[in-house]
Amino acid sequence: PGRGRPSARAAAMGMKRVDTAKDVGAKTFTARELLATATSGKDDRLLIAIDGRVHDVTGWTKHHPGGATLLKQHAGHDASDVFAAFHAPEVYRKLRAFDVGAFEPDDAIAMENSSDSESDDAFSDDSVAAADRSDLKKQNRARELAAFRDLRERVRKEGLFEPSYAHMFGTFLRLFVIGAFAAVFSFAPNSTPRGRILGAALLGLFWQQSLLIAHDACHRVMTTNTKVDKWIGSVFGTLIGGVGAAWWNMEHCEHHCVTQVVGGDPSAGAAPVLCLEPQTKGLPKIGRALVKLQALYYVPVCIFIGRFNLHLISILKAPSKGKALDVALMTGYMSYVYGLTRLVPESERWRWFMIANAVCGVLHLILNMNHYPMPMLSFPESQALGWLRFQCVTTMNIASSSLTGWYYGGLEWQIEHHLFPTMPRHNLRKVSHRVKELCLANGVPYHVAEGGFWDANWSVMKTLHDVARGLVI
């Protein structure tokens, strides 16, 4: 759409026609008024504030690439930084078609939603009067958020959001080499049982790295061309890796926007099998008994069951728009895996198949270790923290080397990845020291598991154990 004139397709999607600046909504919404549209039950519109303007996205829910849930979660709230995290600058011009008025922030609402348990040590001194502490907190939030937004614009101008085709070529080349060695050790006529075990392990690594490529593509950072990246995500995620890309895209967007938010983050726990503390409320007796053992079965479930679970739920929960493609590609995945299994001597097939899936299953431990040890928040608490502090409070980096960094696929820089979800993985390390300096300068927590993989996963199991220990059957 150009200068406020939505196309026919945009109009069909619920965009309002705005021909001139005079036609843009003249009403000014206070934060309380905007929140009331989502909570009073008297307004059926879905209104969201972005950069000082209020937008009616009611008709966009069925077409939003990140799913309708995200829009509904942020209804009545200021979503400026969430929007900036996931959308390129050129998308902003399309917002004009949804504009219904101006937005006037109200710091009081944010302070009402904040709590003393939000890991904000900078204001824990009891000697400071409550009113003064509130003012200091508001000033601090404004300062740190402004500093973060300035950093985001600077790294964008420096080109750190741009893809590197040399890096992409190297990523695909490594994957090809791993796949070739997996085929040689698994299927060569002169291969031995030990060789086929190694081949199975390499196949698992091939799957894991394919899924990490799909992760990059679904974040639209491989080429920044939406259609091309979507195609790469479907091929490497669904056809090769066995995880539905349409489901992943929808759920992963929710995870990034409401990380560790109770009732919002679909990746936080898997009740009743794996529960973080707030998720134990209302569990039946048998569920509480199961949770008591979760620290013991966590690793085996992730490694041996998690992958098969994703095969199933990524199809059952796939959004209707992408389900047909995902089902077709998953059928292709199952067909080629069955064909490969038939190439292995019959007596070794089960072992070969399970080793490959177990090696790939380690990816589930990697996906969880950045967040499970971190606190869970309510949605109002997450909003009160601001984007920078919210992501840093709920996310942890993993100390790594160049080798383990390649294995993690950039997920070791989870704080940077959550702050800048459209930044290619090879640039996350480059920006990490600047993010850390920004956090230290503003009293924002910056957590790193210095012991690496083992340290992080020990923290996960300790968290699960602590939840179980405090639960009464």
Which pLDDT tens digit goes with each residue over 207-229?
999 999 999 999 999 998 989 99
φ, ψ for residue 104, nearest 5 deg: -115, 105
Region 157-182 average pLDDT: 96
Which uninterrupted H or E stretch holds 130?
helix 130-157
148 and 419 Cβ atoms separated by less than 8 Å: yes
**Token code pair at residue 260:** 């560790």
446 and 354 Cβ atoms separated by less than 8 Å: no
Q: Which comes out higher in pLDDT, residue 155 or 109?
A: 155
Task: Give the integer Cα–Cα distance in Å for 34 and 104.
Answer: 9
Task: Give the integer Cα–Cα distance in Å for 38 and 105.
Answer: 16
**Token code pair at residue 151:** 């950093």
Indicate whether 282 pLDDT > 50.
yes
Task: Provide CB contacts within 8 A for 336, sequence distance 6+.
Answer: none
φ, ψ for residue 29, nearest 5 deg: -95, 130
In this prediction, residue 81 carries a pLDDT of 95
**Half-sphere exposure for 440 (CA within 13 Å, toward CB):** 6
Average pLDDT value for the chain: 87
Task: Provide CB contacts within 8 A for 377, sequence distance 6+.
Answer: 118, 260, 261, 262, 385, 390, 393, 394
Indicate whether 148 pLDDT > 80.
yes
**Half-sphere exposure for 394 (CA within 13 Å, toward CB):** 29
pLDDT digits (tens, 9 = 90+) for 329-347: 999 999 999 999 999 999 9
408 and 121 Cβ atoms separated by less than 8 Å: no
98 and 55 Cβ atoms separated by less than 8 Å: yes
Indicate whether 177 pLDDT > 70.
yes
Candidate from 80-84, 128-132, 449-453 with smallest mean pLDDT: 128-132
